[in-house]
Amino acid sequence: MLHFTVLLLCLLSLTLPSTDASVFGGEPGFYSDDATGYGPVFEDQPVDTIYPEESPEAKITMSCRARANPPATYTWRLNSRNIDLDEDNHYTLVGGNLVISNPIKNKHIGKYTCKATNNYGTVVSREAAVQFGYLDFFSSEEREAVYVKEGTGAVLLCAPPPHYPDQLSFRWILNEFPVFIPLDKRRFISQTTGNLFISKVDSSDSGNYSCFVSSASIAKSVFSKFIPLVPLAERPIRKYPADIKVKFPDTFALVGQNITLECFALGNPIPQIRWRKMDGELPANHEVSMAGAHLQLYHVQYEDEGTYECEALNSKGKDWHRARVSVEAFPEWTESISSTERDISSDYTMSCEASGKPKPHVHWLKNGISYDKHDLKFSGLTFENSGMYQCRAENRHGVVYADAELRIICCVTFIRMLIWMLIWEDGSLEIICCVTFIRMLIWEDGSLEILNVTRADEGRYTCFAENDRGKANSTGFLSITEATKITLAPSNADVTAGESASMQCAASHDLTLDITFVWTMDGRSIDFDRDGSHYERNPNGGSSGELVIKNTQLNHSGRYTCTAQTPVDNVSASADLVVRGPPGPPGGVRVEEIRNKSVRLIWSRGADNHSPISKYTVQCRDSFSQEDWRDATTSPPDVEGNAEAAMVVDLFPWTEYEFRVIATNTLGTGDPSSPSPKVTTLEAVPVVAPSDIGGGGGTSKELTITWTPVQPQYYYGRNFGYIIAFKPHDVYEWMKVTVADPEAKHYVHKDSSIHASTEFQVKVKAFNIKGEGPYSLTAVIYSAQDGKLRSRISLLLMESPTLIIRGKTEKRTTDHLEDREASSQRVVVSSRENQTRLENMRPNSPYLIEVRAYNAAGYGPPSHHQIYTKKARIRPPKIISKKLKGTSVNIVWEHVEPLANESTIDGYKVLYRKAGLSTGILYTTGKRSIDLPMPKDGDCVVEVRAHSEGGDGAVAQVRISGKHQSKPLHPFYMTVDSTKYPPPILYDCRLH
């Protein structure tokens, strides 16, 4: 039998995190890998959803499903806040899907994310927005008719009603639904504004037009009130050059996208549209459609970026427009991550790179919690590094995620001696493994290290030291206490500024020792005395160290660490607090591309304060309103939250401006940026003409012209002044003078040849260093008059102060004359007239009439004339019979007895006329009857009225029919109210 001993070092491996299987008789610390387990991997994630406000299905479903072993559990967040399914009964979790029942706009709108978790880790889905889609009805107000001369262009405005989302399609109805107007080279509908453009109107365009708007997102269409288009005939039809009215703006496109540029012009003849790329050939993947009005670029690439021009031309001239197409890109991975296993204590780097334009910002998440790192470099991996990692790349166009699981496995070398005894006996081999642990180590400096201390190690320890000079020892007592452990660690929190947050922290410790809790934020100790208005400890004391943060501010965001500390040991736990709020102010606002009515404004993004910026507002103020900031007009009108530049339009030329930018997110509007440096827009020709053109009068041989000056903001340039044009109305040539004073209000033209009261035509326009503006409307004025020459007649009519007693004039009195003049009737008559008609006078009354001339120099002396109005006209007579007498008909009426205020009757007038005609035969008689010829066919009308000095009285009528001559006519009676003037009374004398 052969005996020998071999000393070996035994290397055993330990794999975590599985702990359910062991080897070597279940010895602690030896584990095998559970090959079937893995962390969550998304198979279905939520997508942006637009919920129609009028949807019959009262629910929204947000999808979320992950493959995981063991199966994942799911939680959802809205705007980075956890959704509590118990608190809001609108939410239901079906598998991983979130179902929102009976959604409410102001409650359920926002951005949703799904978290999938198992014991290997957590992954977060992409963000998906829920918005409520709507398309309101057009206003019920009638649209005004559009009148346009044939041969000229027309634009019908759609003005779509409020809606979401922005994407709409437009068509126009002609006269009735569903007749839609066809589009051709003469007619175009902008799919940006919805407006209808007709380059050259002809008579066939006459009709009623309605804008028909459709929203594909919510499957709804509405149409406007009809707009009448009325072409006005003009001969000959005037021709005019091409004038571009539809202009495509500076456009951003994403790689792989399709875009359409719009361009359309008015003109006669109908203009042709041509497209070109200023810095190269048009892309191969382009198409021109809609008779040239659309340039479509398919599957856009970076090389398609550049300045594009559309040119409109006809035989009378051409016009052109240019704008830039910028090509950017959605984030795309160029280097990504994948799941891996790594040894404990080894080094490992996780990295990912993404391309895109603008360059994406890359950051990491571990188990759903954000890391502010670009690359993850691990030096000496520990089990705490295990988990689910996500790399997130984001630019203003979107976000992409890459997911991976990092699993740490342990290969541990124990300090232990293994004695292998190989015994060969009877041809068999027996292996015996003996393990001895070394827990106490003495270092070279004499220190004693005890590994894995237990209560059994408690006791008295003596250190002995010896050299050639002697010996020494020192004794101490080792007490073993319970280790301090965090039992309730703080959790990550996410709040809106102004809300309160709490950080839990509790620990177990040896009861013989005192414990204290220390809080730090980003490594700095919190001073509860100085910052007591925001920070306070939970007053419970003991083993709880809860931190309450009141009225959170944006600067309270950070990593909070709780340290539980005893005289013997300490232990810490950390969590992140995110405080979300309105954005910070943008920075670096500067102005480029200064033009006469627009500038290009550029800025840099400010802090979004953990809530994405949704839009920017550009404000401006000019030198005429120093403290009055107003919202500026931009192109495009809505500046999105990913923009860092905008064109500011509709500015005044030659005006000093400064600008600022304000960012807005879902939590509110932030502070404005610092103002930009002041800039002055370029000069331009004035477009505003002076108003209120007038004048006239003055001294002899003068013509005074007046106007209201143009306000300084409309000067539009240096050397501002006015050009006054005037001429006598019967002269062809205009005389012109220049007034260089921008504040001038009048000009006096002196000419000895000017005749008094000469009619002049006057118009005024503004000018500056860039040119002359349009003339004002032409006004008519008159030169000065000589002395009291009549230019107008003023007529004063008032009840005469003469008293009438028993029909005689007794005397004239001036009592209350001033009061009577104040209440008198005044009539102004042109100097070219010598008569006028006075109405609404009382009958049988005295009146005093004064006529006087006046001009700019004042009133002339009055002429006096007293009149006495006649008595009131007579009431209508009463027709009492109508009898047939052979071939004639006899009409009889009662005598009209005049009242006190009516004139004495002189006789009667009888008008015999055909029915439907206003003229006929007039008879005058003093009798109370008359014989009239019977009409042979058709009807005739007989009108009878009394006649007096006061005029003809009211009318009584009777109708005579020629169709019933063989039948007797019966009298017809009617009572007439004699106190009023009724309309003519019609008597139908036919028998029925």
Q: What is the reported pLDDT for 817?
A: 42
Q: Which of 480 and 111 is assigned the larger pLDDT?
A: 111
The pLDDT confidence band at residue 512, using thresholds 50, 70 and 90, is confident
488, 573 in Cβ contact below 8 A?
A: no
Contact 161, 138 (CB under 8 A): yes
User: Are the CB atoms for 754 and 747 separated by under 8 Å?
Assistant: no
Per-residue pLDDT tens digits for 809-837: 233 333 444 444 545 667 777 766 777 77
DSSP letter, residue 280: B
Can you tell me the distance from the alpha carbon of 762 to that of 736, in angstroms, rounded to the nearest whole number?
10
The answer to whether residues 209 and 159 touch, using CB atoms and an 8 Å cutoff, is no
The residue among 903 and 803 whose pLDDT is bigger is 903
Average pLDDT of span 829-858: 72
In degrees to the nearest 10, what's the CA dihedral of 686, 692, 696, 698? -90
When pLDDT is cut at 50, 70 and 90, the band that residue 424 belongs to is very low
Task: Tell me the pLDDT tens digit for each residue of 561-590.
Answer: 999 888 888 888 888 998 888 998 988 888
Tokens 């175009």 -> residue: 188
Q: What is the mean pLDDT of the chain?
A: 80
pLDDT for res 986? 37
Q: What is the mean pLDDT of residues 248-256?
A: 90
- Confidence at residue 976, expressed as pLDDT on a 0 to 100 scale: 33
Between vectors from CA 748 to CA 742 and to CA 754, what angle results, nearest 5°? 150
User: Residues 696-725: what's their mean pLDDT?
Assistant: 87
- CA–CA gap between residue 533 and residue 535 (Å, rounded): 6
Confidence of residue 873 (pLDDT cuts 50, 70, 90): low
In a 13 Å sphere around the CA of 552, the CA atoms on its Cβ side amount to 23
- 22-27, Cβ contacts within 8 angstroms, sequence gap of 24 or more: none
The answer, yes or no, to whether residue 414 has pLDDT greater than 70, is no
Output the six-digit token pair for 127. 């963000």
| Model confidence band, residue 430 (pLDDT cutoffs 50, 70, 90) | very low
What are φ and ψ of residue 184, in 5° steps? -150, -165
pTM reported for the whole predicted model: 0.43
> Which pLDDT belongs to residue 626?
65
253 close to 328: Cβ distance less than 8 angstroms: yes
Write out the DSSP string of 383-426: GGG-EEEEEEEEETTEEEEEEEEEEEEE-----EEEEEEEEEET
Closest-CA residue to 296 (of 308, 288, 305): 288
What backbone torsions phi and psi does residue 383 show, to the nearest 5 degrees?
-65, -25
> Highest mean pLDDT: which of 197-201, 937-941, 969-973?
197-201
How far apart, in Å, are the Cα atoms of 239 and each of 203, 236, 244, 320?
16, 9, 15, 19
Average pLDDT over residues 49-71: 88
Cα–Cα dist 783/702, whole Å: 6
The segment with the largest mean pLDDT, out of 470-474, 585-589, 622-626, 717-721, is: 717-721
The domains found in the chain, sorted by start residue, are: 38-133 (2.60.40.10), 239-329 (2.60.40.10), 336-374+382-410+433-481 (2.60.40.10), 485-580 (2.60.40.10), 587-681 (2.60.40.10), 691-783 (2.60.40.10), 871-991 (2.60.40.10)
Pick from 854, 899, 877: which is nearest to 958 by CA? 877
In the sheet with 91-94, reading across from the earlier edge strand, the strands are 59-62, 97-101, 91-94
Cα–Cα dist 170/318, whole Å: 28
DSSP designation for 714: G
Query: What pLDDT does residue 819 have?
Result: 47
- Predicted pLDDT of residue 461: 84
pLDDT greater than 50 at residue 420: no
pLDDT at residue 372, as a whole number? 64
Stretch 63-87: mean pLDDT, rounded? 89
Contact between 158 and 194 (Cβ < 8 Å) = yes
Exposed/middle/buried for residue 794 (C-beta within 10 Å: 0-12, 13-18, 19+): middle
pLDDT digits (tens, 9 = 90+) for 725-754: 999 988 889 999 999 889 998 898 888 888
Check whether 864 has a pLDDT greater than 60: yes
How would residue 439 be classed by pLDDT, with cut points 50, 70 and 90?
A: confident
Residue with more model confidence, 882 or 870: 882
CA-nearest of 894, 895, 889 to 879 is 894
Report pLDDT for 38. Answer: 87
In whole angstroms, give the CA distance from residue 204 to residue 644: 48
Residue 604 near residue 644, CB atoms below 8 Å: yes
Minimal CA–CA distance to 874: which of 770, 926, 949? 949
Choose the weakest-confidence range: 69-73, 249-253, 597-601, 984-988: 984-988
Rounded (5°) CA angle 908-913-919: 90
**269 cis-preceded (ω within 30 degrees of 0):** yes
Q: What is the pLDDT of residues 516-561, one digit of tens each?
A: 888 898 888 888 878 878 888 875 555 678 889 989 988 888 899 9
Q: Is the pLDDT of residue 488 over 60?
A: yes
Whether pLDDT at 918 is above 60: yes
**Are residues 268 and 237 in contact, defined by beta-carbon separation less than 8 angstroms?**
yes
Mean pLDDT, residues 247-276 taken together: 92
Helix extents (H) in 42-146: 105-108
> What pLDDT does 980 receive?
34
Question: How far is residue 457's CA from residue 476's CA, in Å, rounded to a whole number?
Answer: 13
Rg from Cα positions in the chain: 50
Residue 665 clears pLDDT 70, i.e. is over it: yes
Model pLDDT for residues 778-793, shown as the tens digit of each residue: 888 888 765 444 444 4
The more confident residue out of 410 and 128 is 128
Q: What residue type is 982 in one-letter code?
A: P
Name the token pair of 329: 């890109």
> Rounded to an integer, what distance in angstroms lies between the CA atom of residue 152 and that of residue 155?
10
Per-residue pLDDT tens digits for 27-55: 323 233 445 688 899 988 999 999 998 88
CB neighbour burial string for 499-511, b if at least 16 within 10 angstroms, e if fewer: eebbbbbbbbbbe
Q: Is 931 helix (H, G, I), strand (E, B) or coil?
A: strand
pLDDT tens figures, 279-310: 888 998 899 998 899 999 999 998 999 999 99
153: how many CB neighbours lie within 10 A of its CB?
Answer: 23
| Residue 158 pLDDT | 93
CA distance 486 to 965: 125
Rounded Cα gap, residues 953 and 946, in angstroms? 5
